Amino acid sequence: MTKKALFLVFLLLFASSGVAQSGRPTGSNGLGATNDLGAMSSAELFTKAENYLRDKFTELEVNKVPYSEDLERKVRKEQKLLAAKYAAEIASRTESAPLDYYYQGRLHWIAGNRDRAAVSLATFLQRPGDTESVKTQNARALIVDVTAKKGEVEAAEVIFGDYLKTTPKKNSEIASMHKQLALSYTKKGSYEEAAAHAGSAFETAKTLLFEFKSRAKALNVLLDAGITAFEGFRRIDESEKAIASLTALRQYAAKVNSHSVYYRAVDEHIRYLIDIGKRMEGLKLYDASFITLDREIENNSVKTEIRRKLAKRKTHYKILGTRARTLGSIYSVMPGKVPGVASNAKKQIDLSDFEGKVVLLDFWATWCGPCYQAFPKLVKWQNDLSADGLVILGMTRFYAEDKSAVGKRGELKFLREFKEKWELNYPFIVASNQTNQINYGALSLPTAVLIDRKGNIRYIESGTSKSRLVEIEKMILTLLEE
């Protein structure tokens, strides 16, 4: 990379980072005495911040402090504050060597200040020094990540090119840069470039199992890269390459005995065939998958887990790609009617009334703890996407043992108060029995079902997590664009 090109990247990053460096920080936030920092080198400050999580959790374990998610969030926040403090300490020093800028950038990265990290790392690259080192290559990789995420793919490609022309190289960094460029090109609508980078990310990720100390991390990177490649080829209607990506992902998972990656590859393949109008072929693949599984997987516990997951999905596969079922056995609607439906006097709602809209059926219950995780997203989608054609229906039923009229009135009162307490701004459909859950394969809660503008069932998933909510939102946006 020419110094002129690097300088332009530096200006781009600096202009958006709001970086201002002046004055030595004073006071202490309880994460270390400020007076002691001056004696520490930038490398020592970075090492201390980088190891903070490990050291803190070791201390908590020794003191027999029980783990909780709140505790983990607290410790991670402490690490970010510590890293920001140490980065400010380095910035306040009157004399800085090139490596000081490198460690300052890495500290900003830990602190979550990506733009500031990139500015410091770009400064490091501009200073004279060893142009072929692990730190130089790491700086380039991190700058590519930031620059690509900002949509400056041309600049990111130049820096990536410099990385590839230099040694040493790490496949984990190469896979990460390819993936980020794929995502950035996708946002720009440059799907051919996105697919090319996604495919390269996947090919590189296949080599990572022995580069990472953590098998779980390596498999997560592999899965992420494989699915990104599949989606990239899918987006440009390269169905053979899309399927080839999933096949390669499945075969690699078989070699390393990963039930989660293997199942995901098979599940995506079946759903993809159904989604592109090859429903019968998808269902045949489902049946054949059990035979393939016996041939490819030797570990019995892995094989059993994949079989269990596939068997649980059988009903969903049979429903996907078919017409939406009428919602029946409706006892009550909250509020009194569903927008777009003339009447529910027959205790049923014909979802063909919503043709031209995307419908999300959220099957849930008040006793279902995981169901609550989706509430903030459901409210947000209702606010942001209803004008674009999204209809959200919260599907529940009577669960109280008292099935009398008095008992039902009491449960309805509780549901109305619950709706108000949680500020849920979309309609509730309260059914008398399990009919709707059976029709939509929603016997496990929560279950999300998405119906496209033509009235076809396009998505069914049970369970919830941050990644699942991201997946649902992504699918909603895809269907709204169709």
**Chosen domain end from 151, 169, 187:** 169
Q: What is the pLDDT of residue 213?
A: 72
CA separation (Å) from 29 to 55, 81, 85, 164? 18, 8, 9, 42
H helix or E strand, kind and range, residue 80: helix 69-91
**Chosen domain end from 169, 194, 214:** 169
Burial (CB < 10 A; 0-12, 13-18, 19+), residue 333, is middle
Q: Look over the chain and give the mean of its residue pLDDT values, rounded to a whole number.
A: 89
Q: Are residues 449 and 341 in the same domain?
A: yes
Asked if residue 368 belongs to a domain, the reply is: yes
In sequence order, which residues have a C-beta less than 8 Å from that of residue 420 and are 6 or more positions away? none
Q: What is the CATH number of the domain that holds 146?
A: 1.25.40
In sequence order, which residues have a C-beta less than 8 Å from that of residue 104 and are 6 or more positions away? 42, 87, 90, 91, 120
- Percentage of residues in the chain having pLDDT higher than 90: 76
Domain of 267? 231-319
Count structural domains, the chain. Answer: 3
Q: What is the pLDDT of residue 28?
A: 40
Q: Are residues 374 and 441 in the same domain?
A: yes
Q: What is the pLDDT of residue 215?
A: 83
Asked if residue 182 belongs to a domain, the reply is: no
Find out whether 150 and 16 touch, Cβ atoms under 8 Å: yes
pLDDT digit string (tens) for 457-478? 999 999 989 989 999 999 999 9
In sequence order, which residues have a C-beta less than 8 Å from that of residue 123 and are 6 or more positions away? 10, 101, 105
pLDDT digit string (tens) for 98-140? 899 999 999 999 999 999 999 999 999 988 766 668 999 999 9
Q: Are residues 235 and 342 in the same domain?
A: no
Asked if residue 132 belongs to a domain, the reply is: yes
Find out whether 107 and 83 touch, Cβ atoms under 8 Å: yes
**Structure tokens belonging to residue 206:** 């296949």
Q: Are residues 314 and 334 in the same domain?
A: no
Q: What is the pLDDT of residue 344?
A: 53
Q: Are residues 160 and 281 in the same domain?
A: no
Q: Are residues 308 and 375 in the same domain?
A: no
Asked if residue 180 belongs to a domain, the reply is: no
Q: What is the CATH number of the domain that holds 420?
A: 3.40.30.10
Q: Are residues 38 and 109 in the same domain?
A: yes
3-class DSSP state for residue 327?
Answer: strand
**Residue 293 CA from chain centroid, whole number:** 27
Asked if residue 271 belongs to a domain, the reply is: yes
Strands 330-334 and 457-462: unpaired
Q: Which of 239, 305, 241 is nearest to 274 (CA)?
A: 239
- The lowest-confidence range among 47-56, 264-273, 343-352 is 343-352
pLDDT digit string (tens) for 292-332? 999 999 999 999 999 999 999 999 999 999 999 999 999 88
pLDDT digit string (tens) for 359-404? 999 999 999 999 999 999 999 999 999 999 999 999 999 987 666 6
Q: Are residues 311 and 336 in the same domain?
A: no
The predicted model gives 410-417 an average pLDDT of 92
**Chosen domain end from 116, 137, 169:** 169
Whether residue 456 has pLDDT greater than 60:
yes
Q: Are residues 254 and 390 in the same domain?
A: no
Asked if residue 189 belongs to a domain, the reply is: no
Q: Are residues 247 and 363 in the same domain?
A: no
**Structure tokens belonging to residue 396:** 């529940």
Q: Are residues 239 and 114 in the same domain?
A: no
Residue in this structure with the two tokens 């022309």, named with its chain if needed: 165
Asked if residue 422 belongs to a domain, the reply is: yes
Asked if residue 200 belongs to a domain, the reply is: no
Q: Are residues 94 and 43 in the same domain?
A: yes
